[in-house]
Amino acid sequence: MANTEGPAKVRLGILLSGRGSNFLAIARNIGEGKLPGVKIALVLSNIADAPGIRAARDLGLPTQVCISKGRPRAEHDADMLAHLRAAQVDLVILAGYMRLLSPEFIRAFPNRILNIHPSLLPAFPGLDAQQQAFDYGVLVAGCTVHFVDEHLDHGVIVLQRSIPVLPEDDAHTLADRILAEEHIAYSQAIARVAGGDYEIQGRRYVLRADPESAAREAVESILEIRKRTTGMTVQEILDARDEGRRF
């Protein structure tokens, strides 16, 4: 009989505490076939009525709630680990999970836990990163997807996306525009890590892609930045280049 299941998928365990917009962006991308190598095996919340966990239930995904309030971290994290193991999770995705993980939890998934942070790390770790960046007066802001290690917002960086801070921005509009980048960045990073075509050299995440696809990825990312900064379509940018016009 033909095998209709295809290659095994990387099983994601999503941890969240709040609205869950990053989780929903990932779920949407999976639904649209943009992340063919992964599936969501479990959505886990430490807050009983977090909007994100309600949304996961509405989508018919497997969910668990593990209330953290008033419980020692190690004990709570041991319960979370048991749920993740029961769901055979390969890769843990922190999507607005507002609680530090215990060293035991981090050791259980070495370089298999991803987090997204709304700043260009190492700048502005911790809470209210967008407000910190705005108050500091940076001209470029963005988001970072990184592996989780035992220090806050510190592990190896997989991917960053940047945006200019506009003269008319306040901390809220800036946070909204960073969030739009997060929704793209997280799925891109998950695709890369799930694809496994990388190695970690010290603090550096290094793609092992063949030179041709690495070059194609570099050109695509330049085109994308041009598209965003000029408002032109890719075709208009290519036409302008071919005609020797500035773009």
Cβ proximity to ligand GRF: between 66 and 174 the closer is: 174
State the minimum distance, in angstroms, from the CB of residue 72 to ligand GRF: 23
- Give the pair of three-digit tokens for residue 71: 């419980």
Cβ proximity to ligand GRF: between 151 and 246 the closer is: 151
Instruction: Give the bridge partners for 161, in sequence order.
Output: 143
Calculated CA dihedral for residues 137, 138, 142, 144, nearest 10 degrees = -100
Count residues contacting ligand GRF (CB under 6 A)? 14
- The single residue of 76, 117, 146, 183 carrying the catalytic annotation is 117
Cβ proximity to ligand GRF: between 45 and 64 the closer is: 45
One character per residue 6-45, x = contact with ligand GRF (rule: CB under 6 A): ----------x-xxxxx-----------------------
Cβ proximity of 147 and 156 under 8 Å = yes
Q: Which residues contact 68 (CB under 8 A, 6 or more apart)?
A: 46, 47, 76, 99
Which element (helix H / strand E) includes 115?
Answer: strand 113-117
Question: Contact between 165 and ligand GRF (CB under 6 A)?
Answer: no
83 a catalytic residue = no
Produce one character per residue of 92-123: b if its CB has 16 or more CB atoms within 10 Å, e if not. bbbbbbebebbeebbebbeebbbbbbbbbbee
d(CA 156, CA 25): 23
Cβ proximity to ligand GRF: between 5 and 58 the closer is: 58
| Near ligand GRF by CB under 6 A: residue from 77, 90, 181, 182 | 182
State the minimum distance, in angstroms, from the CB of residue 128 to ligand GRF: 10
State the minimum distance, in angstroms, from the CB of residue 189 to ligand GRF: 12
Listed ranges 30-38, 77-85, 110-118, 203-211: which one lies at the site for ligand GRF (CB under 6 A): 110-118
d(CA 230, CA 192): 27
Instruction: Give the bridge partners for 43, in sequence order.
Output: 14, 63
Cβ proximity to ligand GRF: between 67 and 215 the closer is: 67
Cβ proximity of 117 and 142 under 8 Å = no
State the minimum distance, in angstroms, from the CB of residue 236 to ligand GRF: 32
Question: Contact between 154 and ligand GRF (CB under 6 A)?
Answer: no
State the minimum distance, in angstroms, from the CB of residue 188 to ligand GRF: 14
Binding site for ligand GRF (CB under 6 A): 16, 18-22, 52, 95-96, 116-118, 179, 182
